[in-house]
Structure 1
């Protein structure tokens, strides 16, 4: 089952890159949120994607949106990844894949690689845009365009 446009995001809790508890209720349903799922810290495509979001982070903030990256990597890996690339946004560790499953993210490349998918969620907690592509370069632009269309 996949989370589709118009559906509300169900509650989840994960640890962030600093080992802190993250509760989706604190952000989702309160302001627009971009959640992007990516395969792995430090891989070329994922680094490029994270840096694209970093370089446009102020544009997302100006539009009133928060950016959250989620992968199966550990909090420790996320912490190193965020420090190395000066990532100003939240990275969440979904080590058991529970949240990935809630969103219906499928594996790609013959089921070997965790999928790369981006969701834009409005201030009411509903999905208004979703994009699935292994091409890391397109996610940030499409997400920012969707955020800018939120009233």
Structure 2
């Protein structure tokens, strides 16, 4: 796993914002200010839902601090289109990106666990992809990692990220 002070890998990814697909560019996001890249296991699962909802609720505060939020999971873009627009979760307030092959996660030193056979999400739909471990990176405008954490609760990731970007 990458650590504080490391240069964050720059990536582009197929993403969704409010149900609309686009190509997210880390390079373009960093040109505007700090970026919070949060990796999460899967849309429509307990902790991931709580984390997305918390980021959506605090989005205006991140924007006021000049920060961009991008969620990254192994979900395919179709699933993310629904999740990104869902008023209970992302609520159309920030983008989520698909890393179905785990390439972005790998550049950050994260290892995807294999799919769990028969696992279903909160809607009863089978989750057929591997899980990226819940890990949040706060990246400064200079491209260096300012903070990284993975052991806190999903909502604590949001609160800590906001405190850090406000201090930048």
Q: TM over 0.5, yes or no? A: yes
SS in 2 for 1:56: helix
* Per-residue deviation, residues 12-45 of structure 1 (Å, max 9, x unmatched): 1210123322222111254111110000001111
Q: Distance in 1 between matches of 2:103 and 2:152?
A: 21
Q: Distance in 2 between matches of 1:30 and 1:64?
A: 7
- The runs of 5 or more residues in structure 1 that have no matched partner are none
2:97 alignment partner in structure 1: 92
SS in 2 for 1:143: helix
* Per-residue deviation, residues 61-95 of structure 1 (Å, max 9, x unmatched): 00010111000101111110111131311110001
Provide TM-score, normalisation by structure 1.
Answer: 0.89
The residue correspondences of 1:24-103 to structure 2 (distance < 5 A) are 24-85=26-87, 86-103=91-108
2:120 alignment partner in structure 1: none
* Per-residue deviation, residues 121-146 of structure 1 (Å, max 9, x unmatched): 11111100011126212110010111
Is 2:140 aligned against 1:122?
A: yes
2:5 alignment partner in structure 1: 6
Pair 13,113 (structure 1): closer, same or farther in 2 beyond 3 Å = closer
SS in 1 for 2:2: coil
Q: Distance in 2 between matches of 1:140 and 1:10?
A: 21
Provide TM-score, normalisation by structure 2.
Answer: 0.81
Superposition RMSD on alpha carbons, in Å? 1.8
